[in-house]
Amino acid sequence: MAMDADTFSKLKVREREARKCLIVDAAERSFAAKPFNKVSMRDIAREAGISPASIYRYFPDQQTLFVEAFLRGSRRVIESFRQAVEENQGVSLERIAGELLDFLIENDPYFRMMTHFMLDGSLSPALVERLNEESRLLIDQFDYLFGKMNAAGDRRLLAHAFFSAMNGILITFRDYPGRSKEEVVEHMKLVGRVIARLFALSIASSDWYRGLSA
């Protein structure tokens, strides 16, 4: 029985999406393994098991492919965090900190990509704006959380501070020498609870923002 045109078209679309996913998976692994400016399209092609020419059918350059891989990871963070906030009726900042740290620990390639890019990356203005748009969606979740906690002052600033603190924990302790991986994870989560508790106490005092200036 001959395949009709509509079915054939749908199969081609699925095949194209599967190939794109394969390339983005390889890009994520490559950007997680090396600094942003050290990863070439040839490296990604080798990781994906395809020719460099095949990648260029889907992505025009290394920067665009990095952004595609990074945004995919970012959306996973946003969705995980949104669920944690919505399910957490008591708004425990310690639990939220633990949820975020768990996600970043379990999705190490995304965290490595973010760190490598912050240290070594540069993008075109248009691609920077795409990243900024996604970053704002993530910070929105923290903003919403602090709103539920009735935080006074500039909640956006508070959101930036909290997210930076959580990232700082992983940067500081993820390769803690002389400890097992399990011990390192436990220590990072303990530090996260301490920071979350300090934030919660400051918010409860209603004057955390006094004396700050831009």
For 140-187, how does the pLDDT look when each residue is reduced to its tens digit (9 = 90+)?
888 888 988 889 889 999 999 998 999 899 989 988 888 998 999 999
Closest C-alpha among 163, 197, 185, 191 to residue 74 = 163
Query: Region 102-116: what's the mean pLDDT?
Result: 80
- For the beta carbon of residue 93, count every other beta carbon within 10 angstroms: 23
Q: What is the CA radius of gyration of the chain?
A: 21
pLDDT higher at 114 or 39? 39
Domain boundaries, the chain: 61-205
Within 8 A by CB and 6+ apart from 33, the residues are: 112
pLDDT higher at 90 or 20? 20
Q: Indicate the pTM of the whole model.
A: 0.78
- For the beta carbon of residue 124, count every other beta carbon within 10 angstroms: 12
Confidence of residue 114 (pLDDT cuts 50, 70, 90): confident
For 4-33, how does the pLDDT look when each residue is reduced to its tens digit (9 = 90+)?
666 656 667 788 888 899 999 999 899 888
The CATH homologous superfamily to which domain 61-205 belongs is Tetracycline Repressor, domain 2 (1.10.357.10)
